[in-house]
Structure 1
Amino acid sequence: MESLGVVLLLTVIPAQTGQDEVQVEAGADATLDCQGLTEGTITVLAWNKRGMNSVYYVFFYREDRPYNTFQHPSFQGRVELGDPQLKGGNMSIILHNTTVNDTGTYECHISYQSGSGRDKRVIPEIISETSLKVVPTGQTHTEGERKEAGSVGLIVGLSLSALVLIAAAGFVIFFVKNLILQRQDSYQPPVELQRV
């Protein structure tokens, strides 16, 4: 009797290049993007934050459902999938009610299983990173807004400086003119030049 063996192929997909950057105000929701493969069965989807205890995750998904028992207490009740059906490989999460403490680099780890029988493959991990910056309310500015604000500040500063210089020049002219007039009014010609 001939035995049929199952071939298990492992394929490593390198991390996505670059790092997404997201900035939100405290209290707002932040979407952390992660794009996975569109085919295959997800065996594990895990989001973690660099520097956080590795026993816990920001979000952990396995067997077609999230596992809150593996979630760090500071993230419980605040994280959900951007698309619960994971359509098109969308593995993004939404972090609700952000705080300044949520600032950091988040990593998305995905493991897949594709095919069946002899064609079964396990794709161990795809990693993407997102840098999240949560700023106090009222302090979110894009780079363009910061440059525009800087330009406006420069224009206002130069305009005020010009006005101060004009006012100072006007004061000097007024003072000198009055001084000359006062000297002319107080001028008395010598006695021999005065008519008697």
Structure 2
Amino acid sequence: MEQSLYPVEFLHFGIHLKFELTETGIFLKICVVNFSVLGLFFHRPLALNLKAQPGENVTLSCQAPDGVDIEWSRTDLEELQYVFLYRDGHIDSDYQHQSFKNRVELKDKEMKNGNLSVILKNVKEEDSGTYECRFKAAGEGRRKRAFIKTKPISTIQLEVADPDPGELSGCRLNLNSLTGFYFMLEADPEQTLCVD
């Protein structure tokens, strides 16, 4: 899998000097120093295949530096439509595709440690597709309607479908107050196997 370096500019650097020439010499009149750090975020793009059943909630995972704008898109959506966009410190739903409105939220609302993952709620078969996460340093010049034009740092292929009748559909952890914890394995809709 390809590894990439993503430049992220956090601050700016500059020195502004103003000199005054007098009969006795040159004097520094004004000195303003600004500085910045240009960080390189080393990242191996994440690629996942997820399967879900209709009605489930799915986490689309993405990790990047703190203090960035993020965009989640799906490759088959028209330009200027997206799954989720967070920029300038808030969620921007102006150009969010209608089918995702009120169904997508940040997994960690504070995005601590660069967690840009989102939860897609109540998935449907129409949600199947390829999802991509991109980021850009917050506040960098970008037009209101412009997509983030960087390589995706996370690509997730989501397949939403009802389970096959013979397919193992899941494992749940249930608490029984008399016997303690036990696992319930569903072999198919007609049979249930419990292991204490």
TM-score, length basis structure 1: 0.57
Larger Rg: 1
Matched, 1:84 2:109: yes
Which residue, 46, 51, 57 being the options, matches 1:29? 57
- 1:34 is matched by which residue type in structure 2? C
Q: Once the 2 structures are TM-superposed, how far is the Cα of residue 27 of structure 1 from its aligned partner?
A: 1.1
Number of residue pairs matched?
134
2:46·2:62 contact (CA, 8 Å) conserved in 1?
Answer: no
List runs of 5+ in structure 2 lacking aligned partners. 1-17, 20-30, 140-149, 169-186, 188-196
Distance 1:34 1:136, change over 3 A: same
Structure with more strand by fraction: 2
1:50·1:106 contact (CA, 8 Å) conserved in 2?
Answer: yes
**CA–CA distance in 1 between the matches of 2:102 and 2:78?**
18
Q: Once the 2 structures are TM-superposed, how far is the Cα of residue 14 of structure 1 from its aligned partner?
A: 6.7
Higher relative contact order (CA 8 A, sep 6+): 1
% identical aligned pairs? 30
1:23·1:140 contact (CA, 8 Å) conserved in 2?
Answer: no
Alignment correspondent of 1:60: 85
**CA–CA distance in 2 between the matches of 1:50 and 1:12?**
27
CA RMSD of aligned residues (A): 3.4
SS in 2 for 1:74: helix
TM-score, length basis structure 2: 0.57
Structure with more helix by fraction: 1
1:15·1:126 contact (CA, 8 Å) conserved in 2?
Answer: no
List runs of 5+ in structure 1 lacking aligned partners. 115-123, 143-148, 150-196
